Amino acid sequence: MNAFYVTLISFNAFCFLAILLSGIRKEQPHFIGLACINILLLSFNLLSLLLLNTTDLQRAILLSKYHLSCLIIGIPLYYYVFGKWSKFRFTRQATIASAIICLPLLAYNLLSSFSLRYGEAPVLVEYVTLFGNLANVLTGQSNAYSAILHVVSSVMGLFLIYCSIKLYRQQLTFVSLSLLLTMLLQVSFGYTGYILDSQQSTFVYFGGLPMTVMSIFTVLNIAYGYSRQSSKLIIEKKHRDELHELFEQLARLSNESGNEDFFIDSTRLLAGYCSADFALLGIIDKADATQITTKVAVKYQETISNFTYARSGTPCEDVLKTGACMYPENVDVLFPDDQMLSDENIKSYVGYPLTNENNQPIGLLVLLFKRTLPKSNNLGIVTDVFATRLSAELRKIQLEEELKATAYIDYLTKLPSRAKLLHVINNVYSKQRVNDTNSLLLLFDIDHFGEINSKFGYDVGDQVLKIIGKRLNSYTSHSVFIARNGGDEFAVLLSDIKESVDAVVKTHWTAIKAIVSSTYLIGSRKISVTCSMGAVLLPHKLDEHFDIIGSAELALTVSKKDGRGHYRFFDPQLMSKLSQNRNIELALIEALNKNKELSVHYQPKVNIDGKLVGAEALVRWTSKELGFVSPADFIPIAEETGIIYQLGDWVLRRVLYDMLSWREKGLVLAPVSINVTASQFDDESFAEVLLDAINSFDIDASLIEIELTESGLLIEKERAIAQLSILRGHGFTVSLDDFGTGYSSLSYLSALPLDVLKIDKSFVDGLDDVKDRELVKTIIAISKSMELSVIAEGTETKHQVETLYNMGCELFQGYYFSKPLPAAELCSWLPKT
């Protein structure tokens, strides 16, 4: 028996500690209350042990008083602990009420000379217990107070049964059952106590046992809770790790965003994670917003063909109208019109909208399941993350498309831009290789467009381009692609040509000329324009180094040089010529800047006796890179690129310097002629620069002759006359070089104030030809009538000299007399003072 009680006491002590610690840890006051009950139980069982072993009546009465006190103190505690545990709304009130009732009972029990339980005349009775040993039990008549105590205990018992029901409803089944069991034990052991008290049976008193059992169950429950919590934590961690891995994979896919696979891979990744039977990435049709077309469709983790469906009557409609939706069960019943749901036996649905930058839905991400979804799941969060990422990617693509669209349209003419032209050329390339047809690129621009801009302003220039753009737009067809290449340049790409290429170019050139070359009325201004064109045939073999637009541009440049208003085909030789010219240009600039490689030679001009009458200054250039370069090659390039001004200035100063050094050597100076190009002559400051130079070298203007070609004089007649007059007024002589090769009319030339005519070498060469001879005769006659001196250049033979002399030409220049000579060698030709 003693061992039984010691065991109970040990359990009480253990439960006290376990429950107290758990209560403190979890900050649950009702657990701390339960721990206190265990202390009371411990005292109760200890007192029971002492009581059963006592033979002294007075001691037994005292022990019995304490014994009962433990019970009375326990009552409010029970109300508090189980009321709180079962979340009884009036726990506080019930605890206080029970305490108020119990306090007088406790006071009465402790203060009176007898134990409340056994009345005023208890007796100690000895009996043999269930365990076979002797024990003493106190018996007696209980009074009215003990009846109150029984009522209070019974009400408490009912309350605890109520609590067990509440706990059961809160799914705390284990606790609820243990409490119920405790109550059953309490009732049965109460009955044991009653038998014991009255009939001195062999039972030991088990009063402390039920609540000890309850405490043990509580401890077990706490331990079970901990183990459940830890396994819950393990599962939660596993989910967290999986989620982490999922988002990491999504982030990895995002790094490769920009390609279509991103959408497929992301949707499949999501479907795999959620074990969805279907995953759809749908986009609202731009043409018909009632339809959705899938961009990605995944079934059992594999992509299937995309399809279009009407959104009406489907859960997708809800998603697009109200936002994210989740139907964890019976979605097929809720949406009976959705064919796919019933066909595929779909039970649950998760849908998230995909939105544009204004947060408007543009599509949706959908997961479909053939199973019912658990109540708590993270599908919503996961799908939301994916939908957000996919929306961002769709926005990026849309933005890129918009940017591409703007880059592909020329803002001014609204024609396709150069970027689009390049794109179309690439497409045409690949097509013509398959179709075995020809394609042509025609590039044309407006002649003297710069002048329109500078004369009338850029606004007017823009207006002209706009009108041309509009007109060209109507010329576009499926095989005629027209774009603005930039500036005043337009491109016409002709593909699928099966006829003769020449005939096609001619036809289109005629049409383009008719479209562009007309008079434009802008405001009150009438502007007439013409155009020139370059054409190139697209090669059949794609050559990375072949620049199609560049070739057409080159052909256009050449066509302009040839005299505007017509077209020219690209010739590969033009290309090498172009790069050669560029090399000459760069080397010439360097030679001028470093003042090296250049020199001036002088070719004597003589009379019939071979006596020097003057000399022509001819520039010479022996380039380190290119070797000897003829002025006939580099002068036109210098003229074209504007280097001629620097070069002309250099030659002039070199000539004046040489003349100065000849004079210093005591030689009599002969007049020296300097060649001047059209643009040099056209320069308003030309005469001034010339004057400044001769003044600074102290050379007389009469010793300088200016050689101009006919083309140099083809500027406005009045301007040419004025410029010539100025030069002649200052004492310079002016000669007309290469006479007879140009197209200027004699009436025009006769109006110009000139001094000398130089018969071109080509006529001298053709003197044996009757026609040429007649022409030379006429030139000499005209010059005589105009009182001009005549000189024949390129005279190489005695025969030529004699023939010309007989015709009336008295001055000569040519290899027959001398080649152009370095300055030092000309000294021998100059007489001494």
Contact partner at residue 212 from Mg ion, ligand C2E, none, CB < 5 to 8 Å by partner kind: none
Contact partner at residue 91 from Mg ion, ligand C2E, none, CB < 5 to 8 Å by partner kind: none
Binds ligand C2E by CB under 6 A, chosen from 373, 635, 706, 826: 635
Binds ligand C2E by CB under 6 A, chosen from 618, 699, 790, 804: 618
Chain positions 211 to 250 lying near Mg ion, rule: CB under 5 A, are none
Q: Give the burial class of 743: count Cβ atoms within 10 A of its Cβ; 0-12 exposed, 13-18 middle, 19 or more buried.
A: exposed
Distance in Å, CB of 613 to ligand C2E, minimum: 15
Q: Cα separation of 311 and 805, whole Å?
A: 103
Residue pair 614/670 in contact (Cβ under 8 Å)? The answer is yes
**What six digits make up the tokens of 192?**
């044991």
What one-character DSSP code corresponds to residue 205?
P
Q: Would you count residue 553 as binding Mg ion (CB under 5 A)?
A: no
583 or 599: CB nearest ligand C2E = 599
Residue pair 114/138 in contact (Cβ under 8 Å)? The answer is no
Distance in Å, CB of 759 to Mg ion, minimum: 9
How many chain residues are in contact with Mg ion, going by CB under 5 A?
A: 5
Sign of CA dihedral 715, 718, 722, 728: positive
**What six digits make up the tokens of 318?**
């809800």
The residues near 197 (Cβ < 8 Å, ≥ 6 apart) are: 137, 139
Q: Cα separation of 772 and 785, whole Å?
A: 20
Query: Of 532-540, 686-694, 701-709, 811-819, which segment contacts Mg ion by CB under 5 A?
Result: 701-709
Helices (H), 170-208: 173-199
Per-residue x/- track, 733-752, ligand C2E (CB under 6 A)? ----xx--------------
The residues near 370 (Cβ < 8 Å, ≥ 6 apart) are: 277, 344, 345, 346, 347
Q: What is the number of H-type helices and E-type strands within the chain?
A: 28, 26
Per-residue x/- track, 733-752, Mg ion (CB under 5 A)? ----xx--------------
Helices (H), 256-314: 261-274
CA 376 to chain centre: 39
CA 825 to chain centre: 71
Q: Cα separation of 430 and 438, whole Å?
A: 12
Q: Cα separation of 204 and 136, whole Å?
A: 10
Which of 453, 481, 454, 480 minimizes the C-alpha distance to 465? 453
Q: Cα separation of 174 and 658, whole Å?
A: 124
Contact partner at residue 723 from ligand C2E, Mg ion, none, CB < 5 to 8 Å by partner kind: none
Distances (CA, A) of 669 to 90, 612, 655: 135, 10, 12
Binds ligand C2E by CB under 6 A, chosen from 632, 684, 745, 785: 632
What one-character DSSP code corresponds to residue 546?
-
Q: Would you count residue 317 as binding Mg ion (CB under 5 A)?
A: no
Other CB atoms within 10 A of residue 757 CB? 24
Sign of CA dihedral 577, 580, 586, 588: negative
69 or 675: CB nearest Mg ion = 675
Query: Of 242-250, 301-309, 591-599, 706-714, which segment contacts Mg ion by CB under 5 A?
Result: 706-714
**What six digits make up the tokens of 380?**
């919503």
63 or 757: CB nearest ligand C2E = 757
Q: Cα separation of 269 and 253, whole Å?
A: 10
Distances (CA, A) of 473 to 83, 505, 522: 89, 19, 20
Query: Of 121-129, 164-172, 308-316, 789-797, which segment contacts ligand C2E by CB under 6 A?
Result: 789-797
Chain positions 685 to 724 lying near ligand C2E, rule: CB under 6 A, are 707
How many chain residues are in contact with ligand C2E, going by CB under 6 A?
A: 23
Query: Of 159-167, 199-207, 580-588, 707-715, which segment contacts Mg ion by CB under 5 A?
Result: 707-715
Q: Cα separation of 644 and 635, whole Å?
A: 7
Q: Would you count residue 603 as binding ligand C2E (CB under 6 A)?
A: yes
Residue pair 264/390 in contact (Cβ under 8 Å)? The answer is no
Query: Of 239-247, 418-426, 544-552, 793-801, which segment contacts ligand C2E by CB under 6 A?
Result: 793-801
**What six digits make up the tokens of 638?**
């210098």
Distance in Å, CB of 532 to ligand C2E, minimum: 27
The residues near 6 (Cβ < 8 Å, ≥ 6 apart) are: 49
- Position of tokens 């107290």? 20
Per-residue x/- track, 661-680, ligand C2E (CB under 6 A)? --------------xxx---
202 or 797: CB nearest ligand C2E = 797
Residue type, 332: D
Q: Cα separation of 9 and 477, whole Å?
A: 105
Q: Would you count residue 705 as binding Mg ion (CB under 5 A)?
A: no
Distance in Å, CB of 443 to Mg ion, minimum: 36
488 or 737: CB nearest Mg ion = 737
What one-character DSSP code corresponds to residue 313?
T
Chain positions 790 to 829 lying near Mg ion, rule: CB under 5 A, are 793
**Which residues on neighbouring strands pair with residue 793, listed in sequence order?**
813
Per-residue x/- track, 794-813, ligand C2E (CB under 6 A)? xxx----------------x
Query: Of 254-262, 356-364, 587-595, 668-676, which segment contacts Mg ion by CB under 5 A?
Result: 668-676
For strands 525-528 and 733-739, give the pairing. unpaired
Q: Cα separation of 373 and 495, whole Å?
A: 59
Distance in Å, CB of 413 to ligand C2E, minimum: 41
453 or 744: CB nearest ligand C2E = 744
Distance in Å, CB of 601 to ligand C2E, minimum: 7
Distance in Å, CB of 630 to ligand C2E, minimum: 5
Q: Would you count residue 458 as binding ligand C2E (CB under 6 A)?
A: no
429 or 817: CB nearest ligand C2E = 817
Q: Which residues of 89-124 are buried (b: 16+ CB within 10 A; e: fewer)?
A: eebeebbeebbebbeebbeebeeeebbbbbeeebeb
Binds Mg ion by CB under 5 A, chosen from 277, 317, 393, 707: 707
Binds Mg ion by CB under 5 A, chosen from 348, 432, 675, 783: 675
Query: Of 13-21, 199-207, 659-667, 791-799, which segment contacts ligand C2E by CB under 6 A?
Result: 791-799
Binds ligand C2E by CB under 6 A, chosen from 288, 582, 815, 822: 815
98 or 795: CB nearest ligand C2E = 795
Distance in Å, CB of 459 to Mg ion, minimum: 45
Binds ligand C2E by CB under 6 A, chosen from 631, 740, 753, 766: 631
Binding site for ligand C2E (CB under 6 A): 603, 617-619, 630-632, 635, 651, 675-677, 707, 737-738, 793-796, 813-815, 820
Binding site for Mg ion (CB under 5 A): 675, 707, 737-738, 793
